[in-house]
Amino acid sequence: MTSPTWDNAAKPAREKIVFAGWRRAFFRGLPLAVLVFGGLLAFLLTRTIERVVSKPHTPWTSHITVFVCRNALRLLRLPVSVHGAQPIAFGGVVANHSSWLDIFVLNSIQPLHFVSKAEVSKWPGIGWLARATNTVFIQRDPRQAQVQKDVLQERLKRGHKLLFFPEGTSSDGQQVLPFKSSLFAAFIGDGSGDRNSIQAISVVYHAPEHADPRFYGWWGDMGFAEHLLDTLAAQKQGRVDVMLHAALDVADIPDRKALASCLEAQVRQGHSALLQTNKNGLQ
């Protein structure tokens, strides 16, 4: 059972960055910035053409995003191992949420459109990138529930594969927080065919050797710039394990709360298994 006070525990202590760490941060961060912002420029130019040729669909820009994210992880020297089922072609995707790194990790596996809380659109750096890459922003307000449902269903009708984090916030990466069910309403009860498939993904970050197990976790009031710098400066990175679960046919699920419960159980099972992995793969 998740402790309700886990996020009040002391954050991982930051190690002082020495000259070698600053050097690593520079030689990883500079090409990373060129890749991300160069990719963003290519994305925006290509999206302009897509709006004329393919209108709401994104046949080319989605591949730009995958390319940028895969190579960003290579520049960070953070390897990702994928286990389990194949990605679904249409519908929804849910995952546990540990870090800003989730954006790169999950987009490196398959083209996705993220669903995010509206506050993110105002964050420096991340918010700008999110707005530019067709992120769906939603208000956390029960009075907006029907509006949110309509927006998500409209995006699903376009063929967008939507990913959201049902925990509603990021954690330290060592646990899965309870799923909130409100966004699952968009997948229930309208006979929408392919988009009624939804796939759960479990993500576990393994810290660098001798580092705090929560090294990659980013939560609470932790600063983005500091966390990014610590990640860039690490002498040796850890690794990421990702488990894709078998997709659920939403037609078989009676309501959004039952759907959230089923997917949460899948994510918890995979997360627990991946926490036990060693460098040779699944135990």
How large is the average pLDDT for residues 11-20? 87
With a pLDDT cut of 90, the percent of the chain lying above it is 55
Instruction: Say what the pLDDT of residue 220 is.
Output: 86
Q: Which residues contact 233 (CB under 8 A, 6 or more apart)?
A: 17, 21, 22, 24, 25
Say which range, 20-34, 116-130, 221-235, 264-278, has the weakest mean pLDDT.
116-130
Amino acid letter, residue 40: L
CA distance linking residue 103 with residue 111, whole number of Å: 11
Instruction: Say what the pLDDT of residue 5 is.
Output: 52
CA atoms within 13 A on the CB side of 40: 16
The predicted model scores a pTM of 0.89
| b/e per residue 108-119 (b: at least 16 CB within 10 A) | bbbbbbbbbeee
pLDDT of 282 above 60: no
Name the phi and psi angles at 122, rounded to 5. -100, -5
Q: What is the pLDDT of residues 175-220, one digit of tens each?
A: 999 999 988 888 886 545 445 789 999 999 999 998 999 999 999 8
Q: Enter the tokens of residue 270.
A: 């995979």
CA distance linking residue 150 with residue 96, whole number of Å: 24
Instruction: Say what the pLDDT of residue 127 is.
Output: 75
pLDDT of 79 above 70: yes
Q: What is the pLDDT of residues 80-118, one digit of tens each?
A: 999 999 999 888 999 999 999 999 999 999 989 899 888
Instruction: Say what the pLDDT of residue 194 is.
Output: 47
Instruction: Say what the pLDDT of residue 2 is.
Output: 43
Q: What is the pLDDT of residues 113-170, one digit of tens each?
A: 899 888 888 777 777 777 777 788 887 777 777 888 888 888 888 888 899 999 989 9
Instruction: Say what the pLDDT of residue 165 is.
Output: 95
Residue pair 171/97 in contact by the 8 Å Cβ criterion:
yes
Q: Enter the tokens of residue 99.
A: 């870090």
- Identify the band that residue 6 occupies on the pLDDT scale cut at 50, 70 and 90: low
Q: Tokens 């029907």, residue?
A: 146
Instruction: Say what the pLDDT of residue 185 is.
Output: 86
Using CB atoms within 10 A of its CB, is residue 157 exposed (0-12), middle (13-18) or buried (19+)? exposed
Instruction: Say what the pLDDT of residue 9 is.
Output: 66
